[in-house]
Amino acid sequence: MKSINFTAKRNQLTAIVGDVGSGKSSLLAALMGQMKVVEGESNIYGSVSYTPQEAWLLNMSFRDNIIFGSEYNEEWYNQVIKACSLTRDLQLMADGDKTEIGERGINLSGGQRQRISLARCVYKAADVAFLDDPLR
């Protein structure tokens, strides 16, 4: 990528669109400091959360995969579950949100894994949220 000038303003939704392989994910990686910036600079002001294209889960409970080390707030958690369309998924789990998921836990569909990944991003309530085609 060359000669990119980009500003995303506070309290606005900004979408980066382009063909497959055009560098959208690379731009996000550069913004998050995961890719070396050879020239110029990248600044983000505030906290960041990220939902990648490919969801990943840890071997822990459904809830812990969402709150991911943050303090548990039941009211916010329930709002996130509803907003990320996870209510029905929870109803299907024998132990509810205490059900262990991940490699040693129950098997989840790709869609369920992505919704949990999205919920993790939303639950953090960061100043900046990067969504890299999470529901493709």
* pLDDT at res. 1: 64
End-to-end alpha-carbon separation of the chain, Å?
24
* pLDDT at res. 28: 82
Q: Cα dihedral sign for 130, 120, 19, 34?
A: positive
The residue length of the chain stands at: 136
User: Could you give the CA distance from residue 68 to residue 36 in angstroms, rounded to a whole number?
Assistant: 27
User: Could you give the CA distance from residue 52 to residue 43 in angstroms, rounded to a whole number?
Assistant: 20
Q: Cα dihedral sign for 76, 82, 85, 87?
A: positive
Tens-place pLDDT, residues 22-75: 888 888 888 887 887 777 777 788 888 889 888 989 899 999 999 999 999 999
Q: With a cut of 70, say whether residue 136 has pLDDT above it.
A: no
- Place 105 in a pLDDT band, splitting at 50, 70 and 90: low
Q: What is the chain's mean pLDDT, rounded?
A: 87
pTM for this predicted structure: 0.85
